[in-house]
Chain A
Amino acid sequence: MSEILDDIIARYREKDGNVIFLLQETQEALGYIPEEAVGYFSKKLEIPSSRFFGVVTFYSQFHLKPRGKNIISVCCGTACHVKGGSKIADRVLRDLALSAEGETTEDGKFTFEIVRCVGACSIAPVVLVNNRAYAEMSADGTSKILREIKKKESDESK
């Protein structure tokens, strides 16, 4: 890990970098922000860890735990909300047997997130599956997509 982090630090020093840049790069490289990475940056750059933690927990982009293999994001922006986005969200929770938004399934295959507007309001409600947008989705349609991914996953593991 330290090689990856050293590389990020080098680029940070090159640019007029900041803590957010470091964290974005770390998340890009590692998928989340491990505590050890923060400790490493803090020591190397003499920036208190508390500042990193403050920034990580402020911005919704950052995650302190590894996320699932597939990210299911249900948009609950205004347009999606008025067109039933929350029903889709309820369905995903049920299908993945999760209790709250932001959780990852035990097998690490899925993370479910609610996002606040992805800027695709004219095709609401929108569901993002691994960053691909699905237009005018329904609860049933979402269930179908989840079934397909699950099937693919189990085929792969065979």
Chain B
Amino acid sequence: MNQSEENKKKVIVRVCIGTGGLAAGGKEVIEAFKKAIADFCVDIDLDFTCHYQKVGCRGFCARDVLVDVVDGDTSVTYQGIKPDIAKRIVEEHLIKGEPVKEWLIDDSYHAFHAKQLKILLKDCGTIDPEDIHAYVKVGGYDAIKKILSSMIPEDVIAEIKASGIRGRGGAGFPTGVKWEACRKAPGDVKYIVCNADEGDPGAFMDRSIIEGNPHSVIEGMMIAAYAVGSNLGYVYIRAEYPAAVDRLKLAMAQAHEMGYLGNNLFGSGFSFDLRIKLGAGAFVCGEETALIASIEGERGMPRAKPPFPVQKGLWGKPTVINNVETLSNIPYIIRNGAAWYSSIGTEKSKGTKVFALTGKVKNTGLIEVPMGIRLGEIIYDIGGGIIGDKKFKAVQTGGPSGGCIPAELLDTPVDYESLGRVGSIIGSGGMVVLDETNCMVNIAKFFLEFTQAESCGKCVPCRIGTKRLLEILDRITKGLGREGDIELLEGLCAGVKSASLCGLGQTAPNPILSTLKYFRSEYETHIREKKCPAKVCKDLLTYSIIDAACTGCGACKRACPAGAISGEKKKPHRIDPEMCIKCGACFDTCKFASVDRE
């Protein structure tokens, strides 16, 4: 590098390499930029140097790969970038100064962000998660420094209590109260555990936070540790999240190097260190006591409460377990004050909540909204409505522990109490939108399949009860449902809910109960008429070809894996119902809508 190189202006190309970004080719995009620049360098003496910044999830995964080009004070965002577009951006934008209009973000991008309030996700998509200085630059580790220099633990707890923050892992227990209980529990050795075993299908906010802003979690844990009197923390994280694990390890190493983890932090006498424990793939380990068992190296079978972990947790010592999102909020609360935080949200649910908005909405992605926003606003304003402008049917919140909320309740505010009232929960923040082509019995069955497979097997209601629930649902979707099945489901759901040992079993019936509550007629149609109104349940469907519409192109015949379709060219074809395996290949293949599914 010669002197002139150093004097050149710096252009930053910021690329999303969250899971969505990676899957869409984030890394390849960076390589393409590098290659394009190198190619141009051969012929032209560029008047800038290009720096690359990999950032975590920016939320709008549906438009990945998202690329920011930052040139001095101006920042331009591109969406849907593929590697082959990089060359054009380099040539037209970086060299000639003309942004490439057709790939610039559009209105949907703005609409997606308009109603969001980003606290956690703000830094998540902008700072380099692999550089501790990036976090420090935006105020990172100020909160812990502030605490260590000016607050006693009880003050910290009071501040957290005043902020009103409640656990973001599912149950919504007030965080400050939990800390206080642990602080007061007798014992010299206490632990802080960060629950990053995000197991809910349809939720990925914790992963995104760790990938995008790992230091905020570490700082949150430090604050919690100081408040309860702990010197050692564990991050229990899914082994299935290798990128997040690597980020976290790197962040820990950097924090150690900077003296932010270890002994006598900032000369305060307070020491704190962290260890990582990899979860080995068991949903139930999201449950506090199962998680403790797992950290101890045991089968993740929940233990009876009381005693609660804050009294007798890891290795029998008082332990606070908070989830990633909760901990990540803590530094922001300390930095900006409890009053600021509690001004956001509703009376009982404070702050913002991150949701994974997925399913049949146009704008899928990770969103952060103030508590109290209405469901409809999320789905229509942020989510942009239903794909293909189909009819909205329900939104499933809270994963396998949650429920399905129908169209008539879209005005429901999103907070702990309101969602509870309509039979669902906020949970960890999964929000899956369903449209008219989704069968609600099938959805309930899907969740029961999940909980049944993930039941640890310790207690009877969950081990056998969820199995029996699933079997009843299965026979209903197969056209073998009987009168009385709905009542049987209701009775057993009630039993499993109140008799199960842990949260998994206690909430497993929720998807059934909420679909029964709002979509009972769908169950009845399955049972009495042996029909699936949404045309999902395979065994209740028959495929046939509408002679009048069939052109005899033969596409369906070629697609049929069972050889059930016959017919001469250019003449209407026939499906042999005996041979048909109801896979739907013909239906999907036919370009003339001549396959009838009933």
Contact = CB atoms under 8 A, between A and B. Distances in A.
Interface of A: 15-21, 23-24, 51, 54-55, 58-62, 76-79, 81-83, 87, 90, 94, 115-124, 126, 131, 133-135
B23 A82 contact: no
Interface stretch (B219-227, B280-288, B516-524): B280-288
Interface stretch (B44-52, B356-364, B411-419, B477-485): B356-364
Interface in B17-49: 19-20, 22-24
A24 B443 contact: no
A82 B280 contact: no
B434 A58 contact: no
Contacts of B242: 131
B297 A79 contact: no
A17 B277 CA distance: 10
B203 A119 contact: yes
Report the contact-size class of chain B (Cβ under 8 Å from the partner). Answer: 35 or more
Given A54-B299, A115-B240, A122-B20, 10 more contacts: A21-B297, A79-B358, A116-B450, A117-B201, A119-B240, A119-B241, A121-B356, A122-B62, A122-B365, A133-B22
* Residue from B22, B23, B296, B446 having most chain A Cβ neighbours under 10 A: B23
The 6 closest A-B pairs by CB, nearest first: A18-B297, A119-B204, A77-B201, A59-B280, A122-B61, A117-B201
A114 to B, nearest CB: 10
A78 B62 contact: no
Contacts of A134: 23
A16 B297 CA distance: 10
B102 interface: no
B279 to A, nearest CB: 8
B23 A123 contact: yes
Contacts of B584: 87
A55 B298 contact: yes
16 contacts: A19-B298, A24-B280, A55-B297, A58-B282, A58-B299, A60-B281, A61-B240, A77-B202, A90-B583, A117-B199, A121-B430, A122-B356, A122-B365, A123-B19, A123-B20, A123-B64
Contacts of B64: 123, 135
Contacts of B241: 119
B198 A119 contact: yes
Contact of A126 (B23, B282, B296, B434): B23
Contact of B296 (A18, A54, A76, A124): A18
Contact of A58 (B198, B300, B447): B300
Nearest to A138: B588
Contacts of A23: 280
B497 interface: no
B294 interface: yes
Contacts of B447: 78
Contacts of A18: 295-298
* Residue from A21, A61, A116, A124 having most chain B Cβ neighbours under 10 A: A116
Given A58-B456, A122-B366, A135-B20, A20 B201 contact: no
Given A78-B430, A82-B360, A117-B202, A61 B297 contact: no
A78 B281 contact: no
